[in-house]
Amino acid sequence: MKQRTIKKPVEVVGIGLHKGVPVKLRLEPLSDDSGIIFYRSDKGVGIPLKPEYVVDTKMATVLGNKEAVVSTIEHLMSAVYAFGIDNLRIVLDNDEVPIMDGSAISFVMMLKEAGIEELNAPKKFLRVKKEVKIEDGEKFAVLKPSNEIRFNFEINFNHPVIGNQKYDFKFSTKNYIEEISKARTFGFLKEVQYLRSIGLALGGSLENAIVLDDKGILNDSLRFPDEFVRHKILDAIGDMSLLGHNFIGSYEAFASGHHLNHLLTKKAFAENAFEIVEFSPKEELSIVKAFG
């Protein structure tokens, strides 16, 4: 299997979730072994997709250096990861990736429009070779060795619409598009009101998030009965993209979020929990087939 990029540039304009300002997002191809680079065109600054560049995980996964930041990368990176893209330049003219409809389906459509280009260098995977776990009270996130790529998530909210939800997702690009990519981010009305009072969530609306009050949802309907836990998997896939390569293993979590996911990637590298593997075209493996 070869490394991947996109065939042609594509761009879109959307609204940033927190500042509520228009953002132009452009995806551009890159050559072998370039990795994924965020580029702030308004500042002329590039930021690599690496755990050491994560500067905030409170409300979203945020990359940055001394000159610039890029916020809310997880939905876009979830789609990029799902298509097995290794090399990509992500150009933004502001500090947030646009929220679109609160899911990853718009980014899936962008990648389909751009097309996938196979390069010359072999694709590298990170195979989980030993268990790594991060805990915070009852919350946890763990990576375990496995011969497949799997995301198993559980949430438990004291809310009549959410409650306890579990989802065991066997990864493939096709499954991702059908089962995960359309699941929207969600938030509670009282939290949204507080965030706006401190200058955040200014771009949030019923058009780009599921909003809940104490009794139900304010939107017309859900896309899946368990859309909430599916979105948590969408976020987790985006956060695991910080590993730098698609991984082979099992991710499991209870009530995890961006912060625990970030600590998990850092611990996995610190404990040398991976080995780098490549697959030749002759190897008919389920891992290779999962990416189409």
- Angle of helix 74-82 relative to helix 105-114, nearest 10 degrees, comes to 50
- Tracing tokens 């502001």 back to the chain, one arrives at 94
Catalytic residue among 75, 231, 245, 258: 258
Helices (H), 149-241: 173-175, 189-197, 227-240
The letter for the amino acid at 24 is K
Answer yes or no: are the C-beta atoms of 188 and 194 closer than 8 Å: no
The span from the CA of 166 to the CA of 124, in Å, is 31
Q: Residue 106: what residue type?
A: S
Tell me whether residue 259 is one of the annotated catalytic residues.
Answer: no
Kindly report the backbone phi and psi dihedral angles of residue 110, in degrees, each rounded to the nearest multiple of 5, phi listed first: -60, -45
Is the separation of the CB atoms in 87 and 31 below 8 Å?
yes
User: What's the first-to-final CA gap in the chain, in angstroms?
Assistant: 11
Cross-strand bridge partners of residue 211? 187
Length of the chain: 292
Give CA–CA dist 214/225, Å, rounded.
18
Other residues' Cβ atoms within 10 Å of the Cβ of residue 284? 8
Report the C-alpha gap between 55 and 33 in whole angstroms: 24
Catalytic residue numbers, as ranges = 258
